Structure 1
Amino acid sequence: MTQLSPLQRLWLTETVRLREEHAGPLDDLEANRRARSSAGDLATRLQNRALWLAERDGLVSAMRHWLQGSRLALLGLAVLAIISGGGLAFAALGDGQRPVNVFWALGSLLGVNLVLLLSWLLGVIFAGEHGASLGRLWLWLSGKLARDAKAAQLAPALLLLLQRQKLNRWALGTLVNGLWLLAMLSALTLMLLLMATRRYGFIWETTLLSADVFVSATRALGALPGWLGFSGPSEAMIRASTDTLNSSEAVRQAWAVWLVGVLLVYGVLPRLVLTAFCRWRWIRGRNALQLDLNLNGYSQLRERLMPSSERLGVNDIAPEQLHSVEAGQTDLHTEGALIVAIELDDQHPWPPTLPATVKDAGILDSRESRQKLLEQMTRFPPARLAIACDPRRSPDRGSLALIAELARSAAATRIWLLQAPHGQALDANRLGDWHHALEQLGLPFATSAPINWLETGHD
């Protein structure tokens, strides 16, 4: 079984539940039996069942494609944030041909960021869903970049799983604040580069307000940056900054340091703190995430996965489509060799002469015998398995499904197509059907008894 993180296991379990809720129950006889044989509570068995079905039906590979798409989408949003931050810095400072109005520059750098920051905080406090537009954009891009039809079921399942524990607000918070942090860092970096390579003059202008207002506002905004060592212009410098012709090098540097400090304290640091806080809440909630066992899709499986009394017999009909067989899928230790026959009549003597190291599992001719052997092989899978079949019978879906199920419980499997009894001949078309069906399952077959292979592991 593929190694997955706890969140991915829960995610796939929820995806399988949604799939069965909308499309009906899956062919899960083998998955249920494997889940019952595993130790653990109901939640663990639900996950084991879902993971086996997800592996069989391609949901695990679809999840990997979706995760690749989500990383590409996140990378695209990050590049967009970096470009946007650089655009804010260039719009605030310009090309150096004109003096920079410090408060217009400050509004360009921090205005949108602070408005959206306050909007996000209010949304988290009162609604808990702010930032969903950016989250939906990311999910939409992830699905488009995944290019896997089965991946369409994964995003709704992930949202439902997170919403029950209200983790979506912290996941979106990490995304939103992280992207704005990149934008602010990009703006700060480009602003420093522009100031280091161009000569900027700084002014303030007003028609209605007095100079005292600008002096007070500049000092108030520069108080917190001043604690970090970003000294701002003095009162005399502020009052003199109405005309760049009279500004000295010291005045320009003082305004530049003030502007950098204000952007760092009011733009970068709040987003950094909120990103770290949302990330901490996300990790904490993710580690405590569990399945809601009261949901109908899970409660209906309780008796099948944790039965009060074991029932024998196969009750499900043969599946419409057989799933490919991969040898050695079991995680348990395999040992020994086993031979079994499927629905033989009296014309075929059984068992053949076997070495002492090869065990005979008999003839499977009833639901009870099939279920008993499958349960036994789930707990103690053989290293080598030979399945004897009578090619005079048609390879119906039920027989092929049983062969595939037996083969998945062994490390290596071979099919023995028995010779026709003396005086009878095999139908060539029917034998061809057997060959075609076994090739689709990916199982080796032969008309000679694989006794030596069973005993030694080679021919």
Structure 2
Amino acid sequence: MEHPVTAPSLLDKRWLTEAIRLREEHAGPLEDQEANRRARQQGGSLALRIETRALLLAERDGLTAALRRWKQGARLALVAMVLMAVLSGGGLALAALGDGQRPVNVFWALGSLLGLNLVMFLGWLIGLFLSGEHGALLGRLWLWLSERFARDARAAHLAPALLVLLQRQRLGRWLLGLLVHSLWVAAMLSAVGVLLTLLATRRYGFVWETTLLAAEPFIAMTQALGALPALLGFAVPDPAMIRASGDTAPALAMTRQAWASWLLGVVVVYGVLPRLLLAGVCLWRWQQGRQRLALDTNLPGYMPLRDRLMPNSERLGVQDDAPDTLPQFKAQPSLIENAGALLVGVELDDQRPWPPSLPANVADAGVLDSRESRHRLLEQLGRFPPARLAIALDPERSPDRGSLALLAELARNAGSTRIWLLPAVADQLRDERRLNDWREALDRLGLPHADTLPLAWLEHGHD
């Protein structure tokens, strides 16, 4: 089932533009005549024109579709990592409580549940202040899985482009932070869920053990750790319960319940809530920074585009005071500047008399027989698009991809277009098979065609 194609977001536009830049740096400049022309026609700043050009090239070369598939792969990779986090959190809870046959050492259990989380949390804080690259291992794993799930060779430059774009805007730390903290939230919530299940279905006894220390440090530590959870309604064992737990496995149900509530509260307050809060902060910073993404038009990859996308007459503006006298020159008038209708031939040989007799209000644009003539006409059509355009073709030529692309581009720059399939020249038979190939190709393009010159339509707009 085909999903509707949505317009690319601001991030997608910057992302695709960066991917096109990296692709051209590695593989050389792309064929971009049409993209440059359409970007100039749209106008705007240099950054906007570079982006328009990149989006046109990305759509033409399949990079836009590759991005959609890459994002689908990224979602699958994220789901896989969340599942791994959930299983890991559940495994921590099972390892911490055991099977209930032996008393649970509360501080060993707490270390099992929060030890790795605390170490990774401190590492993230240090990396945030020093380099902002902590969490790159998880981020690279995510990117690697995204590429594997996408399975598209055209997406080779998407992951590097995303990294370069985010590093330039210093957004990588917040995206990676959001990923890391979200995974830890999933792991800790899974651990809490398994803890609740085990504590509700099994009877556990809780103890603390020591050879060197007295009871007072354990009592103080227990009550200090339980202070914040107590504000949320979790129970905290009193000193008598704590002392009793240090001697033998407690048998009182109230003591077991107090320790169970304390353990749950400590995991929620020190394991879930900090990660949840930091995930929210990273999400907020990511959303704020994403709105400020901008192209760096001073990059070497963009510098050659300046002259092609910003002609001197547009870029320079008024630089100096006007001279006393201006040089005089005679401008050659445009063929179609004020024409409501236009006739043009494409690659016609010298055996055909041209142009045919035309009414006064139908302009003749000549014959397009070279790259320069095509570019010149397309530039003029971009500035002064005619209401009606008739294109004369010799059906003896093959309907190759280049010819069909030219017809489509000419038609985009006119209000309405018709194709005139010229008759065979004298003393030649018409090749009906090739003529049918042209008709089928034009039908696929959606261009109306006829075997006679549509003079009435060109002159009056109707037949």
TM-score, length of structure 1 as denominator length: 0.84
Partner Cα separation in structure 2 for residue 451 and residue 199 of structure 1:
95
In the alignment, structure 1 residue 45 sits paired with structure 2 residue 84: no
In the alignment, structure 1 residue 185 sits paired with structure 2 residue 193: no
Alpha-carbon displacement from aligned partner over 1:174-207 (angstroms, at most 9, x marks no partner): 1011100111111112212222222221111122
**1:103 aligned to which of 86, 103, 107:** 107
**Secondary structure in 1 matching 2:365:** strand
In the alignment, structure 1 residue 25 sits paired with structure 2 residue 29: yes
Which amino acid in the other structure matches residue 211 of structure 1?
A: A
**2:407 aligned to which of 396, 403, 413:** 403
Aligned residue in 1 for 2:366: 363
Which amino acid in the other structure matches residue 71 of structure 1?
A: R
Cα distance, 1:225 vs structure 2? 1.8
Give 1:35-184 correspondences, 5 Å limit: 35-184=39-188
Give 1:415-454 correspondences, 5 Å limit: 415-426=419-430, 447-449=451-453
Further displaced range: 58-67 or 161-170: 161-170
Partner Cα separation in structure 1 for residue 27 and residue 449 of structure 2:
36
Partner Cα separation in structure 2 for residue 456 and residue 192 of structure 1:
82
Further displaced range: 375-384 or 282-291: 375-384
Give 1:289-368 correspondences, 5 Å limit: 289-309=293-313, 339-344=343-348, 345=350, 347-351=352-356, 360=363, 362-365=365-368
Cα 1:450/1:100, change in 2 over 3 Å: farther
Aligned residue in 2 for 1:201: 205
Cα 1:204/1:377, change in 2 over 3 Å: same
Cα distance, 1:51 vs structure 2? 0.4
Partner Cα separation in structure 2 for residue 245 and residue 131 of structure 1:
41
Alpha-carbon displacement from aligned partner over 1:383-423 (angstroms, at most 9, x marks no partner): 87542112345667765553343244457755332102333
**1:278 aligned to which of 276, 282, 287:** 282
* Contact residue 348 and residue 421 of structure 1 kept, 8 A: no
Which amino acid in the other structure matches residue 259 of structure 1?
A: L
Cα 1:337/1:194, change in 2 over 3 Å: farther
Cα distance, 1:134 vs structure 2? 0.7
Further displaced range: 416-425 or 214-223: 416-425
Partner Cα separation in structure 1 for residue 36 and residue 378 of structure 2:
12
**Secondary structure in 2 matching 1:424:** coil
**Secondary structure in 2 matching 1:341:** strand
Aligned residue in 2 for 1:314: none
* Contact residue 46 and residue 306 of structure 2 kept, 8 A: yes
**Secondary structure in 2 matching 1:209:** coil
Cα 1:73/1:361, change in 2 over 3 Å: farther
Partner Cα separation in structure 2 for residue 253 and residue 204 of structure 1:
15
Cα distance, 1:426 vs structure 2? 4.1
User: When the two structures are aligned, how many residues end up with a matched partner?
Assistant: 432
Which amino acid in the other structure matches residue 150 of structure 1?
A: R
Cα distance, 1:279 vs structure 2? 1.2
Cα 1:380/1:92, change in 2 over 3 Å: farther
Cα distance, 1:274 vs structure 2? 1.1
Aligned residue in 1 for 2:320: none
Which amino acid in the other structure matches residue 352 of structure 2?
A: Q
* Contact residue 16 and residue 50 of structure 1 kept, 8 A: yes
Cα 1:52/1:379, change in 2 over 3 Å: farther
Give 1:227-306 correspondences, 5 Å limit: 227-242=231-246, 246-306=250-310
* Contact residue 88 and residue 108 of structure 1 kept, 8 A: yes
Which amino acid in the other structure matches residue 355 of structure 2?
A: W
Aligned residue in 1 for 2:329: none
Further displaced range: 227-236 or 31-40: 227-236
In the alignment, structure 1 residue 223 sits paired with structure 2 residue 204: no
Partner Cα separation in structure 1 for residue 252 and residue 415 of structure 2:
83
* Contact residue 413 and residue 443 of structure 1 kept, 8 A: yes
Which amino acid in the other structure matches residue 269 of structure 1?
A: L
* Contact residue 206 and residue 249 of structure 2 kept, 8 A: no
Aligned residue in 2 for 1:10: 14
Which amino acid in the other structure matches residue 215 of structure 2?
A: A
Which amino acid in the other structure matches residue 221 of structure 1?
A: L
Partner Cα separation in structure 1 for residue 91 and residue 455 of structure 2:
75
Which amino acid in the other structure matches residue 278 of structure 1?
A: C
Partner Cα separation in structure 2 for residue 120 and residue 363 of structure 1:
68
Cα 1:412/1:147, change in 2 over 3 Å: farther
Cα distance, 1:68 vs structure 2? 0.3
Cα distance, 1:245 vs structure 2? 5.2
Further displaced range: 188-197 or 76-85: 188-197
**Secondary structure in 2 matching 1:296:** coil
Partner Cα separation in structure 1 for residue 400 and residue 45 of structure 2:
37
Aligned residue in 2 for 1:378: 382
Cα 1:235/1:342, change in 2 over 3 Å: same
**Secondary structure in 2 matching 1:415:** strand
**Secondary structure in 2 matching 1:288:** coil
Partner Cα separation in structure 1 for residue 421 and residue 144 of structure 2:
51
Which amino acid in the other structure matches residue 362 of structure 1?
A: A
Partner Cα separation in structure 2 for residue 450 and residue 95 of structure 1:
89
Query: Unaligned regions of 5+ residues in structure 1, if any?
Result: 311-335
Alpha-carbon displacement from aligned partner over 1:294-328 (angstroms, at most 9, x marks no partner): 11111110111011048xxxxxxxxxxxxxxxxxx
Cα 1:207/1:372, change in 2 over 3 Å: same
* Contact residue 207 and residue 250 of structure 2 kept, 8 A: no
* Contact residue 418 and residue 447 of structure 1 kept, 8 A: yes
**Secondary structure in 2 matching 1:236:** helix
